[in-house]
């Protein structure tokens, strides 16, 4: 065997071979011993179940399926963590909570992690520690097949002729006009009414979350259409208690492996199910964002 052959064999061992060796040496029980004694990582592993704070009424993020079971993209992220902790994605206890309880339930230790379409902000980061982002949310445009304008460029050109429905808010007009500067704005009191307005012909386009556009179009391709424009980007992350670097680093590692590494099954399947598209395939070489 040549020196080159030896080197290639060593590199192969350093990849799959090393992974197998590491797996044999560090099962979850032994991994617990590597965490600081006070770290939540050790506590969760010893407990044998993950406690996740989330919601139940906001598809495609967290909602009940036909059997009353929680599902959605946030739930998929929780399953990813359980799989990484216990090699069993079902070992999760969900605490259903109002969005207002997200930070209090983290800081008081009621939950191990919050995964509930939580927008990252500098102000919130003073209270909790955020994981790496798992989705970039934004505002999006939603239409119906019979709408007069189907593409964003046509709506922008139409100017004042376009009627846009949006959820009532102090900044609602600004939100609409950042995409459609001359559109007429129809502020309504609920998201359901915002969407119903385009079905009834009261509005030509609805301004809603970009993820809602993807969700509705994926599930109801003949009922809704996507004009192809999203804007006002914001980050969704999981949140954990501050002051526990072992736990935060582990959550980030688990998300990175699922989103960009060799265990993408849960993340990819959920992305396709809830948004109607597959995330980009990670290519060897430059590291991901």
Model-level pTM? 0.85
- Can you list the alpha helix ranges (DSSP code H) found in 87-190? 102-107, 152-158, 172-179
pLDDT at 9: 45
Share of the chain above pLDDT 90, in %: 81
pLDDT value of residue 29: 52
In the predicted model, what is the mean pLDDT of residues 236-257? Answer: 97
Q: At what angle do helices 245-260 and 73-86 cross, to 10 degrees?
A: 110
Q: For residue 127, what pLDDT is reported? A: 98
Q: Using pLDDT thresholds of 50, 70 and 90, give the confidence band for residue 259.
A: very high
Q: pLDDT category, 282, cuts 50, 70, 90? A: confident
Domains and CATH numbers, the chain: 9-35 (no CATH), 36-136+235-275 (3.40.190.10), 137-233 (3.40.190.10)
Kindly indicate the confidence band of residue 4, based on its pLDDT and cuts at 50, 70 and 90.
very low
65 vs 14: which has the higher pLDDT = 65
Q: Does the structure show a pLDDT above 50 at 8?
A: no
- Over residues 69-84, the pLDDT tens digits come to 999 999 999 999 999 9
For the segment 211-230, the average pLDDT, to the nearest whole number, is 94
Tokens standing for 43?
A: 């506590």
Q: 265-275 and 73-86 are packed helices; what angle lies between their axes, rounded to 10 degrees?
A: 170
Which pLDDT band holds residue 28 (cuts at 50, 70, 90)?
low
Say how many C-beta atoms besides its own lie within 10 A of residue 192's C-beta: 10
User: Model confidence over 182-202: pLDDT tens digits?
Assistant: 999 999 999 999 999 999 999
Is 70 exceeded by the pLDDT of residue 22? no
CB within 8 A of 203, min separation 6: which ones? 163, 164, 165, 186, 194, 197
- Residue 32 confidence (pLDDT): 53
Please state, in angstroms and rounded to a whole number, the distance separating the CA atoms of residues 36 and 39. Answer: 5
């Amino acid at each position: 065997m040549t020196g080159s052959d030896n080197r290639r064999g060593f590199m192969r061992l350093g990849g799959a071979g090393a992974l197998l060796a590491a797996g044999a040496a560090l099962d979850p029980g032994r991994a617990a011993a590597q965490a600081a004694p006070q770290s939540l990582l050790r506590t969760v592993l010893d407990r044998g179940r993950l406690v996740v704070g989330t919601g139940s009424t906001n598809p495609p993020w967290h909602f009940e399926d036909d059997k009353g079971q929680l599902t959605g993209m946030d739930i998929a992220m929780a399953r990813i963590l359980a799989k990484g902790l216990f090699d069993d994605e079902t070992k999760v206890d969900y605490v259903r909570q109002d969005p207002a309880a997200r930070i209090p339930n983290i800081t008081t230790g009621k939950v191990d992690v919050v995964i509930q379409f939580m927008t990252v902000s500098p102000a919130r980061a003073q209270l909790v520690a955020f994981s790496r982002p798992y989705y970039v949310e934004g505002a999006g445009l939603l239409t119906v097949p019979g709408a007069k304008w189907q593409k964003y460029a046509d709506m922008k050109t139409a100017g004042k002729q376009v009627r846009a429905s949006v959820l009532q808010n102090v900044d609602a007009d600004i939100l609409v006009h950042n995409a459609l500067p001359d559109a007429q704005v129809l502020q309504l009191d609920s998201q359901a009414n915002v969407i119903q307005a385009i079905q009834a012909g009261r509005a030509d386009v609805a301004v809603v979350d970009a993820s809602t556009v993807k969700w509705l179009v994926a599930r109801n391709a003949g009922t809704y259409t996507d004009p192809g424009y999203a804007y006002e980007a914001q980050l969704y992350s999981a949140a954990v208690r501050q002051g526990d670097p072992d736990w935060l680093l582990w959550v980030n590692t688990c998300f990175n492996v699922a989103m960009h590494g060799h265990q993408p099954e849960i993340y990819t399947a959920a992305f396709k199910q809830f948004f109607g598209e597959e995330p980009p395939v990670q290519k060897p070489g430059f590291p991901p964002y």
